[in-house]
Structure 1
Amino acid sequence: MVFPTGEQYEINAGSYSAVITEVGARLRSFTLEGAELLATHGPDQAPKGWEGAHLFPWPNRLRDGRYLLGGQEFQLPINEPARNNANHGLNVGLAWNLLAHLGDSVRQRVILWPRRGWPRILAVEILHQLNAEGLRVEITATNLGTTPVPWGYGAHPYFRFEDIANVKLTVPFDAELAVDPERRLPIRLGPIAPAHDFTRPRAIGETILDATFTDPLTRDWTVSLNGDDRTIEVWGEATTQWVQVFTAPRRDSIAVEPMTCGPDAFNEGPTYRDRVMLRPGGSANAVWGVRARGRVQ
């Protein structure tokens, strides 16, 4: 049988199991003691949205799908027509090559070849690894071309709960990106809006979140979700100094999205400083992960 997301690579360690897909290298399943922690889809289904996706060579939105590179303007396909943005990169539908599949880890690689709006060649390698503490993900991008190329990355795991209103959320960041409410594009970086302030744990309640946070000190961080008799912690190293937190409209899941840069980082503005320019032969990596425990603390 051929699955919509290709081969399904299962890994196990301690009380954890995970399934990574061939297409998109998605994190399709992540379980603790057999209980699914993700809002996801079955192996015989196509993804419903961005659940479990890896977003590159940019995360989030690019204004009008345009950016400058080497003094030349490039136009990417618009996949968010209502807001006229290019959203979440070019990894949709890419089949990744399997480099290694061990009992507790999967390593995959893909080459992003030139295409409309993207003139460069990138090799991207990803490692999903489980241990007794949880999941660790490391992604590395290498410029195979002869001229510099911009790079950004984000991950998009959704964590499911019976009702996120009862989930206690902790987001330990110092700044929030104010965005245009119509197009969700950056305006300025500043203090966290009171309604979005979860620096100390509190219940989500009726709060609607589609908010981007960062820490100018680029320290390691942990976002905590505490509900349904379990605690889920999404963590990142300084390589992922941005996080998007999104409450699903059905109020049954919440996305915690580690990112190397904020929205529209390829263009001049408040997020531009964190886009990476990869020189020919140069590489950049990002590390993040998830751990969970079965009793609310």
Structure 2
Amino acid sequence: MMPTDPSAKNEAIEIRDPASGATARVLPCLGFNCFSWRAPVGDTQPRELLWAEPGFESGDKRHSRSGIPLLFPFPGRIGGARFEFEGQTYELEPGDPHGNAIHGFAANRPWRVIDQQGDCVTAEFRHSQDAADAVGQWPSDYLLTASYQVAGGRLRFTLRAENVGDGPLPFGFGTHAYFRLPLAEVADPEATVVRAPVGEQWTLSEMLPTGETVSGKDSLLVEGAPLAGRGFDTVFTLSSQMAAGQPTGPLVTSLVDSGSGREVRQTFDESMTCCVVYTPDHREAICLEPYTCVPDPFALESRGVAAGLRVLAPGEVYETEITLEAVVA
């Protein structure tokens, strides 16, 4: 079924799993952002597990502060809103108080819905078509195809990125999910146990990585510890060797309410090399953000610091999948 494109009307799309009652709501007009995910946790009725600013579905709220912003072709910041690639300098639009560009082109622009079923929705974003005002700001054209699907306690997201231009496409990708706290109705959000398979912490200066990392800065995240008032806006490396001796493979972050046993897991593949942990001032959510590259990757790699920057030749494709799952631990 392919209805009239909701992105032209600032309309949200709801997808639903009738068997479980799980739903997700997506806003194509603002970055194809999934701003609501209601799923059963154990034997409970579906519960909202994402956080979004009230009125977000109007399409006029800040795109990066609710739901699941999709960050492409760069997650995080690019210093001074400029970078060099293969001898050419590219100028971007500043987006933060320090004059840095932030979070790419796809999160704050409309996507085009190309397929909608009862439990899933798919949309596309092409730079030359959907970010025409920024064509000269990136080395090559690209086509993103993304899907959300709900099934029971799971929300499955897939992304396909293709270089449809004539030259090499440098890129990074990340998501910025706002997980709602607390997980249980009467729980203390600060008691939520946060776990992530992080390694070293990147040192930042004015929100940009300096190129240096510090070992063991927050080992509590690896084993899992209560949030307990701690504040984060922190960039970590990701380790494929997870806690408790688990073997190399998919990476998992989790949030657990110890009292009820409710848990929200986020599973992603090893193309993600970096994780940003962020706690908004309102403390009603926490962000666990897997990125394929470190913020400001062009500057880092120009200095010989491996930052995870990827490059697709014309016609090449990158694909990834991220699954959110609500369970009782």
* Letter aligned with residue 108 of structure 1: A
1:174-253 alignment to 2 at 5 Å? 174-180=199-205, 182-194=206-218, 197-215=220-238, 217=240, 219-227=249-257, 229=260, 230-253=262-285
Aligned residue for 2:298, secondary structure, equals: coil
Q: 2:110 aligns with which of 95, 112, 127?
A: 95
Aligned identity (percent) is 23
**Structure 2 portions without partners, runs of 5+:** 1-5, 40-44, 129-133, 183-187, 241-247
CA RMSD of aligned residues (A): 2.3
How much does 1:3 deviate?
8.6
Aligned residue for 1:266, secondary structure, equals: helix
Give TM-score, length-normalised by structure 2. 0.81
Aligned residues: 291
In structure 2, the partner of 1:123 is 143
1:106 aligns with 2:121: yes
d(CA) in 1 for partners of 2:21, 2:215: 39
How much does 1:251 deviate?
1.4
Q: Which piece of structure 1 moves more, 43-52 or 141-150?
A: 43-52
* Letter aligned with residue 201 of structure 2: E
d(CA) in 1 for partners of 2:263, 2:21: 15
d(CA) in 1 for partners of 2:102, 2:254: 26
In structure 2, the partner of 1:161 is 181
CA displacement 1:238-264 (0-9 Å, x = unmatched) = 122322111111212101112111111
* Letter aligned with residue 221 of structure 1: L
- Aligned 8 A contact 1:242 1:261 in 2: yes
* Letter aligned with residue 223 of structure 1: T
Q: Which piece of structure 1 moves more, 224-233 or 272-281?
A: 224-233
How much does 1:215 deviate?
2.8
d(CA) in 2 for partners of 1:284, 1:137: 14
d(CA) in 1 for partners of 2:9, 2:106: 12
How much does 1:170 deviate?
0.8
CA displacement 1:110-161 (0-9 Å, x = unmatched) = 1112534224211111011222340111111111111102111111110121
How much does 1:108 deviate?
0.7
Aligned residue for 1:174, secondary structure, equals: strand
d(CA) in 2 for partners of 1:5, 1:159: 27
* Letter aligned with residue 86 of structure 1: A
**190 and 231 in structure 1: CA distance in 2 versus 1, 3 angstrom threshold:** same
1:265 aligns with 2:297: yes
Q: Which has the higher strand share?
A: 1
Q: 2:16 aligns with which of 12, 18, 26?
A: 12
Q: Which has the higher helix share?
A: 2
In structure 2, the partner of 1:72 is 88
1:23-38 alignment to 2 at 5 Å? 23=29, 24-32=31-39, 33-38=45-50
**Structure 1 portions without partners, runs of 5+:** none
d(CA) in 1 for partners of 2:109, 2:62: 16
- Aligned 8 A contact 1:262 1:271 in 2: no
Aligned residue for 2:297, secondary structure, equals: coil
d(CA) in 2 for partners of 1:168, 1:213: 18
d(CA) in 1 for partners of 2:233, 2:100: 16
Aligned residue for 2:74, secondary structure, equals: coil
1:22 aligns with 2:28: yes
1:60 aligns with 2:76: yes
* Letter aligned with residue 174 of structure 2: G
How much does 1:216 deviate?
5.1
In structure 2, the partner of 1:282 is 316
How much does 1:267 deviate?
2.5
